[in-house]
Amino acid sequence: MAGADMRWVPIATVFPAGLDTETAVQKLPDGFTPDGYGFDIEYPGRLVHLNAAQGSGNRYTARTYTIDGNDWTWFFRRLWRANGTNLEYNAPEYQDVVLYQDLGKLSCVEDGNSVVTFFPFGTNLFVGKATGGYILPGSISLDGDFQHADLEEQMKVSNALYATPLEQVPFVSNANGIYTWNGGAVQELTVNVRSSISYFANRQLRIDRPKRRLIGYDGTRVKFIYDTVMKKLFIYQDTNTDFRFTTRTISSTRPFPVRAVAFEFDNTTDARGILKFQTKLDKSDWRKEITVTTDDREEQYNRIRAEIDDSPQSHEFALRLTRLDPHIHIRAIYIYTNITTDEDSPSQ
């Protein structure tokens, strides 16, 4: 039975929250959002509005040489180049003359599409075409006589800028999303964000190697970041000021009220801050926006409470922040409720 005692229940405590548009909002774990963007992910354990241009990262390092008018790339102590459906390779250590070793080429003729990109990951090479990608194991060998595995159609890539190595694995962006090779099979990183696939499809891929992040770029702005440590995806809109954070939905088979919301936060300056949020009950629309103003103090631990007037009991409750001043760093969000603590409790 629903308890009579009102108490504070956490609804969001794990930040920054990764995007997940496919899991049912009632089953979404803390640490993920069904609708959120514009996060500054440099603050572990905090929800922070970026409010600035996101750094776009860099391309991977590749040294090139020109021999007889053709461009070659230096990997694993030898030169390589894409030539139609072939990946050609030079003899080891030769940088100023073409001296083919063995056949001097690896044929990728499962179809007539040309090789568009190739690069090392670990001791192997990834070779990409518009119809799929190949794994070339043991590419570090100086003996030549290379063989590639079968064409992996999910790893297709239509532009050399749409693929990159990071953390010794290859990543590609194509019309279906982001894919990688996990050592034995293809893995789709965007399986839980397919409702927002436009952020991830056919994007230039760059890397932030020190922070171990994959960055999706549209030529002008960053559209997404995949953090390989947190294993979370984050998206960004077309202006620096765009921000939204939506909580998971808590639910119960018995109706419950929510009388207030509390935010625990750090104020990183000596200025007041503004938060704006909305609430959602059951299947109704988002309710009227509520504005909260924080104190103008710099402290390590602050808490502010906002009353929710005219809040009837419901079976489901969710909250979304539509404004968060960048100097206000949220640590946790709580609701004041008497929701049950048995099998009808919100997902943890």
- What's the pLDDT at 54? 93
Residue 310 to residue 194: CA distance in whole angstroms: 36
Secondary structure element (H or E) that encloses residue 318, with its range: strand 314-324
Residue 57 to residue 51: CA distance in whole angstroms: 18
Domain positions in the chain:
7-52+242-337, 63-235
Q: Among candidates 236, 216, 242, which has minimal Cα distance to 56? A: 216
33 has pLDDT over 50:
yes
Interval 42-61: pLDDT, tens: 999 999 999 999 999 999 99
Please check whether residue 32 is in contact with residue 247, taking contact to mean a CB–CB distance below 8 angstroms.
no
Cβ-in-10-Å burial (0-12, 13-18, 19+) of 321 comes to buried
Question: Concatenated DSSP letters for 28-83?
Answer: PPTTEESS-B-B-TTSTT-B-B--SPPP--BPPP-EEEEETTEEEEEETTEEEEEE
Residue 345 to residue 73: CA distance in whole angstroms: 58
Report cis status (omega within 30 of 0) of the bond before 120: no
CATH class entry, domain 63-235: mainly beta
Bigger pLDDT: 325 vs 104: 325
- Compute and round to an integer the Cα radius of gyration of the chain: 25
CA dihedral 23, 27, 29, 34 (to 10 degrees): 40
Q: Taking residues 36-47, report their average pLDDT.
A: 98
223 has pLDDT over 90:
yes
- pLDDT-derived band at 348 (thresholds 50, 70, 90) equals very low
Interval 258-299: pLDDT, tens: 999 999 999 999 899 999 999 999 999 999 999 999 987 655
Interval 166-188: pLDDT, tens: 999 999 999 999 999 988 899 99
Write down the residue that tokens 């808490």 correspond to: 303
Q: Taking residues 181-207, report their average pLDDT.
A: 96
- Topology of the domain comprising 7-52+242-337: Jelly Rolls (2.60.120)
- What's the pLDDT at 4? 63
The whole model's pTM is what?
A: 0.93
> What count of Cα atoms within 13 Å lies in the side-chain half-sphere of residue 272?
6
Q: Taking residues 213-239, report their average pLDDT.
A: 96
Termini Cα distance of the chain: 19
